[in-house]
Structures are given as C-alpha cells and as structure tokens.
Amino acid sequence: RTELALKEIMSSGGAEDDIPQAERKTVTDFCYLLDKSKQLFNGLRDLPQYGQKQWQSYFGRTFDVYTKLWKFQQQHRQVLDNRYGLKRWQIGEIASKIGQLYYHYYLRTSETSYLNEAFSFYSAIRQRSYYSQVNKEDRPELVVKKLRYYARFIVVCLLLNKMDVVKDLVKELSDEIEDYTHRFNTEDQVEWNLVLQEVAAFIEADPVMVLNDDNTIVITSNRLSETGAPLLEQGMIVGQLALADALIIGNCNNQVKFSELTIDMFRMLQALEREPMNLASQMNKPGMQESTEKPARRENPHKYLLYKPTFSQLYTFLAASFKELPANSVLLIYLSATGVFPSGRSDSEGPYDFGGVLTNSNRDIINGDALHKRSQSYKEMHCLHPGDLYPFTRKPLFIIVDSSNSVAYKNFTNLFGQPLVCLLSPTAYPKALQDQSQRGSLFTLFLNNPLMAFLFVSGLSSMRRGLWEKCQDYLRKINRDIAQLLTHSRSIDQSFLQFFGDEFLRLLLTRFIFCSATMRMHKIFRETRNYPESYPQLPRDETVENPHLQKHILELASILDVRNVFLENTLDDY
C-alpha cells in the first residue's frame, strides 16, 4: 500500500525527484501507521471475549497506534491532502475506529466514562461532516461504512440516555438509507429498514413519559447516583462482600432489541452502573492511570452481555467469571428469558425436574433434539436448569430470574453454605394489565426504575417533572425504611444481609421488596403467581407485607391521586 501511495504522489506531483524528501517521508510514515492500525484493529476480533486480563496490553497497543495516527494526520494534513490525496471520509474512518475502540473498552471494563469518549469522537464526525462527500462517490461500500457509523453512534447515545440526539440520528439515518437504496439497487435494504424499526421501538419502550412545562420529554437516568442507594446507618450489621462481576443474559422471544441488547438487558446493565464521569478529569488513556492517583470511588462491576447465548456459550462465560472472581466478591447472574417447562412427569423433585429458562439451540444439535422428543423421560437440553448453577454456588452468588418459569429457581439448595439469593419475577401478570411484555418486563422495570413501574401499574402514562421529582424524593425515603426493615429483621436469612453491604445489591434488594409489596397491595394482582418470590424466602410480615411499608405505598399513591388502585386494609385480606 505504501508503494501505491508513493506512485500516487508521483502521478499527482510530477517527477518523483520534484517531491521533497520530507514530504515523501510524511506519506510513508502515514501509510505505515494506517496499515499498522488496521492490522491491530482487525486483530481485536480474535481476542477471547471472556477473561479480563489477556486483552488489555493488545488494546493498549491499538490505542497507541490510533492516537499517533490521529495526531499525525492533524499535524500533516496539508501534505497528506496534496501528496496522498487524503479524503475527508478517510479521516472520518479513523475517528470512527477510535470511537469503536472506546466503546469496546467500555464493554470490556464496564467503565461508563469510556462511553463519553466514544460519543465525543462520533460527534466530531457528524459536526465536521467527514462523511458528507461519500454520497458523491459511486461506491456503495463507502455508503455502508457511513450507515454503520450511524448505527454505532445510536447505540452509544442510547447507553448515555441522549435521546434527543438519538432522534436526530434516526431521522438522518432514515434519509441516508432512502438515498442509498434509491441509488444502488442493493439487497440489504430490508435489513437497514429493520434497524430503523428496532431503534424506533427501543426509544418508545418506556411506558410513562415525564414532561417539562413546555411538554418536552425529560430524560431520566437510572444509573446509580451519589444519592441512589440507601445509606447504611450506624450500627447496621451487614456483610462486606462487593459485587465484582455480572452476567446479563437476554433470551426472550419477541422483546424489543437494538444491536445485541434487549430492552431488559439494557435496563439491567444501567442498574449495575454508576453515572458516567468525564474521563478527562480522571485519566489520559485507557489502562494508563497513574498508580499514585486513586480513583475517587469504586469501579463498576464488570459485566458480560450475552444476547441469546447457547448453553455452551453461557457456561463458558459463567466459568470464566467464576474463575476470576476476587476474594470477598459476588457474582450476579441476571436471566431474562422465555420459560422452559418440564415435558414429562417426574416422581422426583430434583434441580432438573422443574425446567428453567431457554438457552439458544445451535442447529448442529438437531439429532439430539429428535432423540429428546422421542422420550419424555429426558430433560430439556436447551435450558438452563437450577441444577446447572449448583457448581457456581461455591462462591457468593446473587441470581435474578425474570421469566414465565422463574419459580423453577425456588427449588434451590444451598450446598456449600456460601451467601446465595435468588430474586424471582412473577410468572404471570393480571389480564387486566395491558400487555407490555414486548416493551420489556414489568419486574425488571421495577428493579431499574421503580417509580416508572409504579406509575404504569397505577394506570398513569405521563407526569409533570415537578411531581415526578417529589415522588422520587418520597421513594428514597421508602428505600431507607425498607433498608431498616431488612437489617432489623429477626428472622431474615443471613444471605440477604451478607449482600447488603454492596450499594448495587442493596438497591436491587430494596427495589425488589418495594415491587413485591406494591403488587401484593394492588387490586388486580390477586393470584400467587402475580407476585415476585425469592430464595431463601423473606419473612413477609417484616418485609413485603409490613404495615409500615404498606402505609408508605398508600401515601405515595395518594401523592399521585391513585389510591383507589390499591387495597386499603391489606392485612385483613390475607
């Protein structure tokens, strides 16, 4: 490629001898850096997706080369324009690759600040119109690069809750797709239109709108803020465990998704992250933080996002997380998946007799499937059974199951005496409640944004910002009281308290109890299967059916003028 570039120089600048040595060297150096950067970038996909250490030095080298390349083209832009014929879309490509690097660094580290960095590079491409000339060239592959850039930018904006930018990008992408399919008779038109439909459905997934006085929509963030989790009061005896790793698994049929994120996965990953900080104030480059500078707060737990994994993939990632889990740490497994029910009758009641949740089937196991269908005595193969998780209970394990067969995980046995908690969704919702399952599960919404979920079950679809903020304040008070109920309980299982020292798990537990108490008081949630459950069971009278908490919920309903939706004398109704 370097030789080609030099020939290009000769043809544009006359005889080779006319070109100053320094300019020739500039082009040679640029070509070398460009080749090296592409080579390293392409090598990223060969790195193992699991395991937290092997990839860091390779990522560091790739960042170094891209940083040099970016600075080099800035310093020598005129020479590269004149002698190399550097086009603006090529600069856009370099910026886009750097944006992708930052995004992948976020996926690998769960450090939300890297999303801000990705956003700034993607924004620069748009502001400086690096891709604007692409449409004049008769090369469909260049237009596809532009469309992919838009799709990647949208993912980053969704994760940063920049919904106003998302809406602008979707409009621009829609125009670009129309232009692309009009100019080139391509086969991928349907796929690109599907991308547009997916992102449109994703944006509209929230069931309640919060409005400013001028009727613009308020963007609410559900990451952990400084005031998010209820503080531990003096004298609360809780464990010192910290959430270090999480597997977020999405395998629901028909749920809204974009890229490889279902709406449930999207909501849960935000519940396990802190609000992003500006990276510039914290560090210069990924992996290059000075050891003398201690980060101001604890890092986010590391996450693996698994969209429709097969059993093998799920188990591989689970084993990698388990292996690398530090001492005094917790592994969280979140399963949002279609329920798989046992097909045959079983006399025993073991950890493989209640079904579980769906794992994706690879087509190459068709023979196994045929065999399985012939005999009712075999267990479901493409299913994560409670028993499959037993080996991993050798370390502290926090499990959340959002599924129509979540109760299968109620039949756990704590074999190794390590802290173990399972939070289980209702297995069915009342018919009278408008079916929202396509737009995400109500249970996960309670764990991510409890006020929005409360408004939805109360029949509200929009609210003014002032009232929303007043209710959020009241909800923080409720969370504080729930934390006290838990830590003062005499009969609660110790596992709950051992997890309660971690901010993220504390917030999930208090939201779970709020969700459960709300559903038990709601007039249309009348069947047992409409309520969340847990393993080990919580003492109801001290938590989810505590009169003090019920009073709070009625008070919140009164603020919203929806008290008629809830039972007043709930204790008498049981």
CB–CB of 112/273 below 8 Å?
yes
Query: pLDDT: is 553 or 47 the higher one?
Result: 553
Query: Whats the size of the chain, residue-wise?
Result: 574
DSSP 53: S
Give the integer Cα–Cα distance in Å for 248 and 241.
20
Reported as a single tens digit per residue, the pLDDT across 45-85 is: 888 888 767 788 889 999 999 999 999 999 999 999 988 88
Q: What does the pLDDT read at residue 393?
A: 96
pLDDT band for 345, please (50, 70, 90 cuts).
low
Give the integer Cα–Cα distance in Å for 158 and 119.
11
Give the integer Cα–Cα distance in Å for 205 and 436.
9
Give me the chain's average pLDDT, please: 87
Selection from 425, 379, 429, 417 nearest residue 399 by Cα:
425
Cβ burial of 271 (10 Å; 0-12, 13-18, 19+) is: buried
Q: Which CATH architecture has domain 242-277+299-341+352-361+379-565?
A: 3-Layer(aba) Sandwich (3.40)
CB–CB of 122/153 below 8 Å?
yes
* Cα-to-chain-centroid distance, residue 86: 38
Q: Which CATH class is domain 15-207?
A: mainly alpha
* Cα-to-chain-centroid distance, residue 572: 41
Give the integer Cα–Cα distance in Å for 423 and 260.
24
Give the integer Cα–Cα distance in Å for 514 and 486.
12
Residue 281 scores a pLDDT above 80: no
Give the integer Cα–Cα distance in Å for 279 and 284.
8
pLDDT band for 434, please (50, 70, 90 cuts).
low
Reported as a single tens digit per residue, the pLDDT across 90-109 is: 999 999 999 999 999 999 88
**Interior CA angle at 514 toward 512 and 518, to 5°?**
120
Per the listing, tokens 């068709």 go with 366
Residue-range domain boundaries for the chain: 15-207, 242-277+299-341+352-361+379-565
Assigned token pair, 209? 């709108």
Task: State the average pLDDT over residues 111-117.
Answer: 91
Quickly list H helices, 291-429.
Answer: 311-324, 366-374
Q: What does the pLDDT read at residue 366?
A: 43
Q: What does the pLDDT read at residue 259?
A: 87
| Position 566, amino acid | F
Residue 233 scores a pLDDT above 90: no
Residue 437 scores a pLDDT above 90: no
Residue 497 scores a pLDDT above 50: yes
Query: pLDDT: is 395 or 346 the higher one?
Result: 395
What is the C-alpha end-to-end distance of the chain, expressed in Å? 78
Give the integer Cα–Cα distance in Å for 134 and 171.
18
Give the integer Cα–Cα distance in Å for 218 and 463.
10
CB–CB of 471/453 below 8 Å?
no
Dmax over Cα atoms in the chain, in whole Å? 97
Q: In angstroms, what CA-CA distances link 301 with 42, 274, 278, 409, 424?
A: 28, 10, 18, 24, 22
Task: State the average pLDDT over residues 4-9.
Answer: 51
Task: State the average pLDDT over residues 411-425.
Answer: 93
